[in-house]
């Protein structure tokens, strides 16, 4: 993390930016929770007027040849924070 990022003001907004690494968790996974670092390559808001994002990413722990993925993700907030679910 660079110095500017470390000193940036915090916000309660959820942000996904292409060109960055994020944590990915699927529940249920294959044999319990599945976790992997993902490298986001594209994020676009679906034109539904809702909170659905189209997400393209490189899944680091998938086998070579099937690492690039796409998913539609619903984003919602609760008192415990921001959560995403696949649609």
Q: Which of 66, 64, 67, 85 is nearest to 75 (CA)?
A: 85
Of residues 52 and 19, which shows the higher confidence score?
Answer: 19
pLDDT at 1 over 50: no
Indicate the pTM of the whole model: 0.68
CB 53 within 8 A of CB 45: yes
What confidence tens digit (pLDDT) does each residue in 24-51 have? 888 888 888 889 999 999 998 887 767 7
- Name the residue with higher pLDDT: 82 or 62: 62
Q: In Å, what is the CA distance from 68 to each residue of 8, 37, 79, 83? A: 31, 12, 33, 22
Lowest mean pLDDT, pick from 6-10, 13-17, 41-45, 48-52? 6-10
């Amino acid at each position: 993390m660079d110095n500017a990022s470390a000193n940036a003001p915090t916000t309660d907004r959820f942000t996904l930016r292409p060109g960055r690494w994020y944590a990915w968790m699927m529940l249920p996974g294959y044999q319990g929770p599945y976790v992997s670092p993902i490298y986001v390559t594209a994020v676009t808001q679906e034109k539904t007027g809702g909170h659905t994002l189209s997400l393209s990413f490189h899944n680091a722990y998938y086998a070579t040849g099937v690492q690039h993925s796409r998913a539609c993700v619903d984003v919602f907030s609760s008192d415990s924070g921001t959560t995403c679910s696949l649609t």
